[in-house]
Structure 1
Amino acid sequence: MSQHVIKPGWFTINVVNRAVAWMTRRGLSVWGSRVLAVRGRKSGEWRRTPVNVLTLEGAQYLVAPRGHVQWTYNMRAAGGGELHLGKRAQTFTAVEVGDDDKPEILRAYLKRWKAEVGVFFKGTGPDATDEELRAIAPKHPVFRITLT
C-alpha cells in the first residue's frame, strides 16, 4: 500500500512557500510559521521547508498536512533538525507520535490552521470525532519536538 501524499502545485511551491519562507527568514512568523531545516536522509545536505509549529499543553509538534512528504522521511532518519525564525535557529530532537495518540493533536492543528490546510484532510475538521481523526491519522505524520 502506498503512503498518502499530496504534492504541492507550482503556485504553492513558487509563490506561497517562497513568500512564507521569505517572511520567516526575516523574523516575521505567519501564524507560528518557521523554516524547518532537516538533513537529507541520502545526501546529508540541509533541506528547508516552511512549517507550522503547534504548541499544545506545553509540548510542540510538527504535523505533515500533505502526508508522507520528503521532510517526514528525512525527519525519521535524522531524528531532529532546526527551526528558523529570522536569524535565530533552534535545534530540536523529534519523536514520531503513534496514530492512536494523534486525534487531540490533529484536532488542535485543524482548529488553528484549517483555513490554510483543511483541503488536505478531505473534509475532516476540528469538530470531528476521535474515531474520524484516528481514521485519517495514518495519512498525516506527527512529530513531537523537543528543543535542545
Structure 2
Amino acid sequence: MTDGYRRPGWFTVRVLNSLTRWLGTASTLEVVRRQTGVLQRVPVNVLELTGDRYLVSMRGQTHWVRNLRAAGRCTLQRRGRRRAYLAVEVSGEQRSHVIAAYRGRWQVRRFFDGMPDPADHPVFRLDPVD
C-alpha cells in the first residue's frame, strides 16, 4: 500500500533537479502554487505521442500535480523557449496507453514497481494556448 506520493530525496531536490534544468535535459514545468500563488518550477519529461504532449507523474500525487489540477494551465520552458498550455487530465485506457509509452521512453521502472496501479500516476494532456 502506498500513500500515493513518492517524495524525492534531498539530492534530487537540491542537486539533480537544478542540474537537469541548467543542462536543458528536461523541460521545466511552471505552474502557480494553489495555496500561495507563487510560481513552482520543476523539471519534467514531456512525452510526445501521436501528435500530443503529455505529462506523467512517476512519483504519484505530487505538489505539481495538485497545483496543475487547481490551475488548469501551465508553461513549459526548454532551452530558452516557453509555451503556455491548458492541462487536461486523462484517465482509464488512455492513461494506461500513455504510461506504457512513457515507461518505454525513460528509465522509470522503480517508480512504477513501487506504485504499480496506473491510477497512482496522474497523466495530463497539454493543449497549446495560442
Q: Answer yes or no: same fold by TM over 0.5.
A: yes
Q: Give 1:1-148 correspondences, 5 Å limit.
A: 3-24=3-24, 30=25, 33-113=26-106, 115=107, 117-122=108-113, 136-148=117-129
**Contact 1:66–1:120 (8 Å) recurs in 2:** yes
**Contact 1:35–1:84 (8 Å) recurs in 2:** yes
The structure number with the bigger radius of gyration is 1
Tell me the TM-score normalised to structure 1 length.
0.81
Name segments (4+ residues, structure 1) moved above 4 Å. none
RMSD: 1.8
**Contact 1:34–1:53 (8 Å) recurs in 2:** yes
Q: What amino acid maps onto 1:89 in structure 2?
A: R
Q: Distance in 1 between matches of 2:2 and 2:18?
A: 29
Q: What amino acid maps onto 2:121 in structure 1?
A: H
Identify if the C-alpha distance between structure 1 residues 123 and 42 changes in structure 2 by more than 3 Å, giving closer, same or farther: closer
Q: What amino acid maps onto 1:96 in structure 2?
A: E
What stretches of structure 1 of length at least 5 have no aligned partner? 25-29, 125-134
Tell me the TM-score normalised to structure 2 length.
0.92
Deviations 1:22-52 (A, max 9, x none): 122xxxxx2xx20000001111111000000
Deviations 1:70-114 (A, max 9, x none): 00000000001100013221000000001332111011000000x
What stretches of structure 2 of length at least 5 have no aligned partner? none
Aligned length: 129
**Contact 1:3–1:139 (8 Å) recurs in 2:** no
